[in-house]
Structure 1
């Protein structure tokens, strides 16, 4: 898995800034077209790191529909979710996150859009290897979990473990892969 992570991350990092912008806008359109949320929700989204697909356009659009946006904050090997603010700091991995305040209980989150390194035809997700999302959402079957990715992150089959949480779908700029 380590070699696969490295290979896919390198592919992802080769995507140019303009290609990344276009892909991110297409992905946001996919979400809004297929998952338009009629009533305001509590939505967890990440801030991109290490070549992950951009989320700013999606965040801006969701806010226009009165959704509340929460960003993961790493705290004692767990993820907490804090309301998005303009005041961001970098955690120990160099990932931007809000300060720990305005925390929402994970049970109050309706939808999570999470990053991934690779995904397969069954919407299985390979993350960075820390298991943070798996630990956080292993006992919460109510929340909808979606992975966001570039098309180049697709692999035919991933070996999954019993602790891996199942995504509802992976969304790319060109398709939706459902579980």
Structure 2
């Protein structure tokens, strides 16, 4: 167990640096244009979803603003992560797409506490690293892992840059693989199929 913890810690350090370097090297206008709408290969995972979970990207992470606007335009409801404190459990609250319905949370902007708490049918998740088996390495707090364990029916889709792909992500028994990973170059699916976004 200790070996896996140290492996994850070292991978997080290296992949966070690679992710940030890659993001900073992209022209700002280009960053915003890459992820415009979910690729066709992902549609079977989100077509029947009434509520889709996204996240408010921090520097280095794949931006989700255009995904949110597209999903709202096609009639989906959007939910963002919400937590009362850094170590607190993760929940999701509806977001209208307006900055006015956001408040400052422990990890950055999050829906106002008055917004309804919901369970997304599909969830686009940030990641620090991933591998071809769709294993995900997150920030290390276990927030998404804990939430996904309580809601196993929610489809889990990772968003990352190609530079974040590892040969193998170290996993524990509680780690749940993703249903797909989207990068700026490809979509990875459970069948090891890789398709262009």
TM-score (normalised: structure 1): 0.87
Aligned to 2:4: none
Name which of structure 1's ranges 3-12 and 152-161 shifts more when overlaid on structure 2: 3-12
Give 2:106's match in structure 1, choosing from 64, 84, 92.
92
Question: What stretches of structure 1 of length at least 5 have no aligned partner?
Answer: none
Aligned to 1:22: 30
Determine if contact 1:40/1:65 at 8 Å carries over to the other structure. no
Query: d(CA) in 1 for partners of 2:27 and 2:169?
Result: 26
Larger Rg, first or second structure (1 or 2)? 2
- Residues 19-78 of structure 1, C-alpha deviation per residue, up to 9 Å, x if partnerless? 46535533444x242233555620000000141010011111111101100100013511
Aligned to 2:18: 11
| Offset, 1:9 | 1.0
- Residues 80-107 of structure 1, C-alpha deviation per residue, up to 9 Å, x if partnerless? 11111423233223x211212223332x
Name which of structure 1's ranges 51-60 and 35-44 shifts more when overlaid on structure 2: 35-44
**RMSD of the alignment, in Å?**
2.1
Query: d(CA) in 1 for partners of 2:115 and 2:76?
Result: 15
Aligned to 1:161: 172
Give 1:48's match in structure 2, choosing from 50, 57, 77.
57
Determine if contact 1:83/1:101 at 8 Å carries over to the other structure. no
Determine if contact 1:23/1:150 at 8 Å carries over to the other structure. no
Tell me the secondary structure at the aligned position of residue 113 of structure 1. Answer: strand
Aligned residues: 175
- Residues 104-123 of structure 1, C-alpha deviation per residue, up to 9 Å, x if partnerless? 332xx210001000001101
Distance 1:70 1:17, change over 3 A: farther
Question: What stretches of structure 2 of length at least 5 have no aligned partner?
Answer: 1-7, 191-197
Determine if contact 2:79/2:93 at 8 Å carries over to the other structure. yes
